[in-house]
């Protein structure tokens, strides 16, 4: 059965767009994306709506998932990272919010990413819904 992944965006500020990620209605980790910059390639969070995600192999991040169907955008990945400057328009995963080099971000990103990929083992696609609650 295909998983349903939901990101609920909780706040947006200079440090980026912070959210919570659920898989099949269970809270699994936190997210960090860039601020909303009108869906600009490589610099903005993606518009809040529904998408399909497909398993891909990234030269930089290895096996992961890419978000497809974002108007005017491509190569939007889920991957590890701690700060908005690490995302280039992608979705970072973490286990908690905290400070890195004096900047607000997500922590334990590698652990959160590994857990996410383990939860989706054996699945080639999933449905992603992004909603804003701020």
81-98 pLDDT tens trace: 999 999 999 999 999 999
40-84 pLDDT tens trace: 999 999 999 999 999 999 999 999 999 999 999 999 999 999 999
Q: Does 134 score more than 80 pLDDT? A: no
- Strand partners for 12: 17
Q: Does 133 score more than 90 pLDDT? A: no
Q: What's the CA gap between 106 and 112, in Å, rounded? A: 10
Residue 112: pLDDT band with limits 50, 70, 90: very high
Structure tokens at 48: 């809040």
């Amino acid at each position: 059965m295909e998983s349903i992944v939901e990101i609920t965006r909780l706040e947006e500020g200079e440090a980026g767009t912070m959210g919570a990620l659920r898989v099949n209605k269970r809270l699994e980790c936190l997210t960090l994306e860039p601020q909303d910059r009108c869906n600009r390639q490589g610099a903005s969070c993606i518009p809040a709506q529904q998408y399909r995600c497909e398993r891909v192999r990234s030269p930089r991040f290895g096996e992961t998932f890419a978000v497809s169907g974002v108007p005017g955008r491509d190569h939007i990945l889920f991957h590890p990272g701690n700060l908005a400057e690490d995302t280039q328009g992608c979705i970072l995963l973490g286990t908690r919010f905290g400070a890195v080099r004096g900047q607000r971000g997500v922590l334990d990103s590698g652990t959160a990413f590994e857990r996410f990929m383990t939860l989706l083992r054996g699945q080639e696609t999933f449905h992603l819904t992004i909603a804003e609650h701020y």
